[in-house]
Structure 1
Amino acid sequence: MNIAKKLKSLFLIFLTAIFLSSCGGKLPGADARKYPPNPEERVKKNIEEGRGFRLSNVGKGGNGTFDFASSNELWRASLDTIDFMPLASVNYGGGIIITDWYSTDVNNESIKISIRFLTNEVRSDALDIKVFNRKCEAQFNCVITEKPGNLVSELTSKILKTAAIYEKQKKDKNFKPYITSDAKN
């Protein structure tokens, strides 16, 4: 056996010894005296302590929070506001909507809108909207610039107002008055 192989073997034995000594001499598993013998009771105890899950609870709600496009007021309001424009890319998970170029055939100009969602809350800094202008002299001779002006503020205002209306409708729909025990009697 050459020296490299001997060193490699010694190194592996050394690593194995360190790994085994780090276990503290404790075998994996739990003390059976601390857990009930009935499997149903063990499962119940583990779930109560947060150490397990049941597949029978899948789809019945839970303590995770998930936002979907249909329940996000800003998302719905944005799509409703730009519904006249063709969409090029929509990614709810990434929080971005990009329209395709839209033109009314005036002066060979078209616009493209990009809406990026910075938060799900309906507030003034929740959106990053950019409007791009494309002006073409010929079909392949186009200049694209970010369009200055009040279109961005108008879009932001319209989306936020619509989202606020959707949020109010959602609250009104989900509102259930609190009935005290005195009112029941």
Structure 2
Amino acid sequence: MYKKVLIVLTFLLPFAAVAEEKIPRLGSEPRGQRERREDRTKGHLLSEPLFTTAKKKNTTDGIGVNSYLWTASLETLAFMEKKKADPFGGLIITEWYVDPNTTNKRFKIEVIITGRELNSSALKISIFKQKKDSNGAWVATNVDKDTLLKFEETILTRARDLKVSQEIG
């Protein structure tokens, strides 16, 4: 019986140490103190890292794809409303965009970043274009290959610029 209690206490003792800090009831602690306490313990299990002797992997960001391509894609598509942006999967999908000067055409763009390397093979772009027909219905039309290549080159150039500016600065 005592052995069981001792085993249970051995496993629960580390958790009891965490409960040492008294947590005030919601709203009873001044806002500034609560934020400082949250900032102090943010990102740490049990308020301190468990294993501090191991070296961290060299990660420059918390996303699953090349961060320069991701940022460059978002900046290039800044004028369009985003339907979905998933930095872990490397997917950006825009809503349909209608240029105010030509209201009979609209575009939708999908960017997929497939890897962590900064090159064109890690970047897949699809541009969808529609025009209004005589009845006012949207009809799919072909996108000029040059438009697709210019868009890809714009993203790649911006990504390279971002990388160079980070390495210099």
TM-score normalised by structure 2 residue count: 0.60
Q: Describe the superposition over 1:119-169 as per-residue Cα deviations: whole angstroms up to 9, x where unpaired.
A: 122112111001000112345x22124523311111111111111111112
State the alpha-carbon separation in 1 of the partners of residues 98 and 82 from structure 2: 13
Aligned positions of 1:55-134 closer than 5 A: 56-57=48-49, 62-64=55-57, 65=59, 67-68=61-62, 72-105=67-100, 106=102, 108-134=104-130
| 1:144 aligns to 2:140 (yes or no) | yes
Q: How does 1:147-158 map to 2 (within 5 A)?
A: 147-158=143-154
Separation in structure 1 between the aligned mates of residue 158 and residue 62 of structure 2, nearest angstrom: 18
What SS class does the counterpart of residue 78 from structure 2 fall into?
A: coil
**Any stretches of 5+ residues in structure 1 without a counterpart?**
1-53, 174-185
Counterpart Cα distance in 2 of 1:111 and 1:58:
50
Bigger relative contact order (CA 8 A; separation at least 6):
2
Q: Deviations over 1:41-62 (max 9, x none)?
A: xxxxxxxxxxxxx852269795
**Aligned equivalents of 1:89 and 1:111: distance in 2?**
15
Distance in 1 (CA, whole Å) between partners of 2:131 and 2:51 is 51
Look up the SS of the partner of 2:162 in the other structure. helix
Q: How far did residue 68 of structure 1 move?
A: 2.9
CA–CA distance in 2 between the matches of 1:68 and 1:160?
21
Question: Structure 1 residues 108, 66: CA separation in 2 closer, same or farther (over 3 Å shift)?
Answer: same
Aligned length: 118
Letter in 1 for 2:61: D
CA distance in 1, matches of 2:50, 2:121: 36
In angstroms, what is the RMSD of aligned CA positions? 2.7
TM-score (norm 1): 0.55
Pairwise CA distance, 1:86 = 1.1
Could you tell me how far 1:108 is from its partner in structure 2? 1.1
Identical residues among aligned pairs (%): 28
